[in-house]
Chain A
């Protein structure tokens, strides 16, 4: 291994302290500022949680975020308000999310490696085409795409949601990973090549471990975006048995009659938990960058 790689892998703990040691007042001021900012940022979230515990008619009549009632029935009623228990929609969403994550991790990282490290004819053109595919709004694609998937017999299955991800159609992540791979020193590949490694091995043993933050980012974002994606899930899943969380959540709301807001907020809170947990877990991997992974 090169000198650089060894130095890169050096432990970091001491350095952070060496960089700067703030005085106590500065620290207090900083934390006060951050906590205030946090409160402002979280106000809507807090309001939602408090409202999920209020009786329906109180939600819009009693302003503020001081919890004044604890109506846990909103949760049980919301859970059972639609044709299946809400858990059913959570499971459906989980299946779609899992498929999309696997798809994006595998296919996008492969494509990204090719664009970042390999030389081939028309590379720039293909790269431009890849970026171009995310520039068209989905609303004009969806009708022809629906026609196509219904010819395949895929409507009302999870296939139209998952298969495209297995085939690297999410150019966002390809581009993301390309940028990360290009940020990795080429000396590392060269060293492995001298050791006799081919591209598949360089990809697996050198690049993938080093781009762990990018993979974690991809996982977190795919999870969150798929979990929240409404439009394509609405269009492709027509049978309520197949509904996912965002489609189900909107079924509570109708602007022309009175809506079970309590149930809706309760289930919004419930559906927020998995993605928040995913983020909590995922962010630990963000921290393990090149500096702590080391190079083997």
Chain B
């Protein structure tokens, strides 16, 4: 198991004694980013924070109302409902999507016939993911007369209109999200390409099975990328907006069953002219996402391995 042994040595090496600071170089490399932070990001972000403590209808100047927006959150039943919808979505769709992406990435990574074709075919849906056409297309599958119900009809089952039934609407959006697994798949593929093939070769010669190879080589070496996809997909899922917006025609319906947090916040801000409250909601979302991300980073110390 020489290759794996070497690998583990690399993974556990701490990188030697602490090195001196590279302040000058860091400033140079971070110059565009700092400029963007100061000139583009900071102003609007700070403004949205301040607006969170105001009553702001977009047309008249904002008025400070102290902690009123925060008090409102405590009793806002639709907000609590939308949190429930969002958490369900995050916890179900992210693992499913990542599993699909990783599984197919590994399947497609090995040399096989028609590789490029499959890769492109699997990515194609992701290109459509937020298109205005998706609402119509999704009804062709999950609508009352869509593909699913036609298939069920052959075996004598009468299906519901999956998109417009409050009991199933959220599930169709989860399927939609899994369907567009192309983005994390491509990132996994790129990551798999960085794993030196010699490790597998050596392991194979040492007689390690595929499962062992997956656990001892793929997972550790791909872990920075798995971690990246996990963190970003969670952030992304918490902010999920476009698909629910397009499929439900902006309503989050039926009966608020697809009322994602961001969709609710958008409706408060733009449809109900309640931008002060919407801003406060956005900062609550930031806290929630930040907490999840922090936990993720903390947990990462146990399973993500870097070469540096």
Contacts and interface: CB of A to CB of B under 8 A. Distances in A.
A290 B221 CA distance: 13
Contact of B140 (A44, A174, A186): A44
Contacts of A229: 130
Given A38-B121, A118-B26, A289-B190, A135 B286 contact: yes
Contacts of B193: 213, 286-291
A31 B112 CA distance: 10
B75 interface: no
Interface string A198-212: 111001000000000
Nearest to B307: A185
Contact of A228 (B130, B150, B189): B130
Given A38-B118, A42-B121, A291 B197 contact: yes
A102 to B, nearest CB: 12
A220 B119 CA distance: 14
Contact of B183 (A10, A126, A221): A221
A146 B161 CA distance: 40
A140 B282 contact: yes
Interface stretch (B34-42, B63-71, B90-98, B166-174): B34-42
A176 B188 CA distance: 11
Interface of B: 10, 15, 18-23, 25-33, 35-37, 39-41, 43-45, 47-48, 51, 58, 107, 110-111, 113-114, 116, 118-134, 136-138, 140-141, 145, 147, 150, 179, 183, 186-187, 189-194, 196-198, 200-201, 204, 210, 221, 224-225, 227-228, 231-232, 235, 239, 241-242, 249, 262, 265-266, 269-270, 275, 278-279, 281-283, 285-286, 289-290, 293, 306-308
Interface of A: 7-8, 10, 12-13, 15-20, 27, 31, 34, 38, 41-45, 47-48, 63, 106-107, 110-111, 113-114, 116-121, 123, 126, 129-137, 139-141, 143-145, 147-148, 163-164, 166-169, 172, 174-176, 179-180, 182-186, 198-200, 203, 213-214, 216-217, 220-221, 224, 228-230, 246, 249-250, 253, 255, 261, 264-265, 268, 272, 275-276, 279-280, 283, 286-291
